[in-house]
Amino acid sequence: MKGKTLYDKLWEAHLVTQRPDGTALIYIDRHLIHEVTSPQAFEGLQLSGRTPWRIGANLAMPDHNVPTLFQERRSGIDGICDPVSRLQVLTLQNNCKNFNILEFDMDDQRQGIVHVVGPEQGATLPGMTVVCGDSHTSTHGALGTLAQGIGTSEVEHVLATQCLLQKKMKNMLIKVEGELDESVTAKDIILYIIGTIGTAGGTGYTIEFAGSTIRSLSTEGRMTICNMSIEAGARAGLIGVDETTLSYVQGRPFAPTGEMWDQAVAYWKTLVSDDDAVFDRVVEINASDIAPQVSWGTSPEMVLPVTATIPSPEQAVSETEAEGIQQALRYMGLQAGQKITDIQLDRIFIGSCTNSRIEDLRAAARIVVGQKIAPTLKQALVVPGSGLVKQQAEQEGLDNVFKEAGFEWREPGCSMCLAMNDDKLGNGEHCASTSNRNFEGRQGFGGRTHLVSPQMAAAAAIAGHFVDIRYWKGMA
């Protein structure tokens, strides 16, 4: 009998029943809920007279359209200026009260971006199936969980049945081997992978990330990798459990303790792919090929090393691709042949479920310390991923490092990653952003997003344009 992949094991452990055509009911251990994709699901539940199957499996918090300005956060929900946002945040609170679901509301220090908070609280544990009405749920796969984004109909389905209806995906292995340059990060690895396999490269697959480079990353770095599996087309990305995973989980508020911890660890240690496991597709990446990455276009696969120049439609292999490049050049206001380091920036955003954890903020602060942001910038924002990340950063004095350099230090939330609140780009503005999507209009109408690592965003803030941080010594 052939060996099993980690995905095979997680799938089998959660299989409730399977129909002859392969459609399965998969049991869901943890359901995370936020304000944007849940109201219609709760309404559906109410209209059909159904109740949540297992209340304790659910954890809710508002994140997508909460304000990040302290002044607007001070008086809770009533203080949210935009009445449409206020109603949505209030609706989540009312639904959680009505159905007795635990919510970290806006005033709770544990509130934050749902994908930062789940692992931080130990609400996400290895071996779990985790879902949320948000495509970046893939983040949680870093802990050896099967985690995927779902639509609102599925949110209602999970609330009502604790199950998800789906067919098994294929297995893809992405192996990254070798040593990274010290200023090349998890973000650069995943951007490089997306540039290599394309945004539809992982469609229909669950991707397992493995290899010595992935093993050497911290759990937070692994979350950055799994977070952007969806930008590679895969609903779920995951990484096998090792000592790094276990030491991350131990002591978290919702993690098991005592004898149950030992029992859990024994089980979690089995959550790796067998040596003889068979994958449907294998991609091998050499870590030493990866330079700091910058996205130049309007799809995450339009990404290049910082040393590169903007491509021309003539380099395309198909007419559709040539039109895509043409479209992106027009939208981004860039010329073929222009150097990436010559792109002038208007705003900087350090935050999002990709890069707003404490290690991200520390890494950015190390670049910024003792420097000032370029006078040509209109704004540089740091938005911590959760209230607890913010508190930790403040204890370490990182807030002062950023503020002294000219950054704004904000309250936790999704913020400028998707610009549902007031944090957004103006028409035509270029932004170095640590977020995950550079789609047209994503960060604001006409806004031009360049996806980068926290270190690259921090250095770009000081220089006013992109720099190759491998050789950059700061401004005199």
Partner 1 sequence: MEPFHVHTGIVAPMDRANVDTDLIIPKQFLKSIKRTGFGPNLFDALRYLDEGQPGMDNSARPRNPDLMLNQDRYQNATILLTRGNFGCGSSREHAPWALLDYGFKVLLAPSFADIFYNNCFKNGILPILQENSVIEQLFTAMYAEPGFTLTVDLEKQVIIMRDGQTREFDVDPFRKECLLNGLDDIGITLRDQDKILAYEEQRRHITPWIFSEV
Give the list of residues 6+ apart from residue 141 with CB closer than 8 angstroms, or none.
147, 226, 229, 236, 237, 238, 239
State the amino acid at position 193 in one-letter form: I
Give the list of residues 6+ apart from residue 259 with CB closer than 8 angstroms, or none.
none
Please give the angle made by the CA atoms of 53, 59 and 65, to the nearest 5 degrees.
Answer: 125
Q: How far is the CB of 39 from partner 1 (least distance, A)?
A: 4
Q: How far is the CB of 77 from partner 1 (least distance, A)?
A: 14
State the amino acid at position 180 in one-letter form: L
Of 401 and 437, nearer to partner 1 (C-beta) is 437
Distance CA 287, CA 80 (A): 45
Are 76 and 186 in contact by the 8 Å Cβ rule? The answer is no
Of 152 and 392, nearer to partner 1 (C-beta) is 152
Give the Å distances, CA to CA, from 218 to 3, 221, 222, 269.
Answer: 27, 5, 6, 17
Of 422 and 468, nearer to partner 1 (C-beta) is 422
CA dihedral (317, 312, 443, 402) positive or negative: positive
Q: How far is the CB of 25 from partner 1 (least distance, A)?
A: 6
Q: Is 99 helix (H, G, I), strand (E, B) or coil?
A: helix
Of 234 and 304, nearer to partner 1 (C-beta) is 234
Q: How far is the CB of 332 from partner 1 (least distance, A)?
A: 15
Of 204 and 474, nearer to partner 1 (C-beta) is 204
- Residue written as token pair 């003889």: 276
Are 418 and 399 in contact by the 8 Å Cβ rule? The answer is no
Of 255 and 348, nearer to partner 1 (C-beta) is 255
- Residue written as token pair 């459990």: 241
Q: Is 275 helix (H, G, I), strand (E, B) or coil?
A: coil
Q: How far is the CB of 65 from partner 1 (least distance, A)?
A: 6
Q: How far is the CB of 56 from partner 1 (least distance, A)?
A: 4
Helix residue ranges per DSSP H, 165-275: 186-197, 212-215, 219-227, 243-249, 258-268
Q: How far is the CB of 262 from partner 1 (least distance, A)?
A: 11
Q: How far is the CB of 74 from partner 1 (least distance, A)?
A: 22
Of 94 and 212, nearer to partner 1 (C-beta) is 94
Of 212 and 445, nearer to partner 1 (C-beta) is 445
Distance CA 292, CA 248 (A): 27
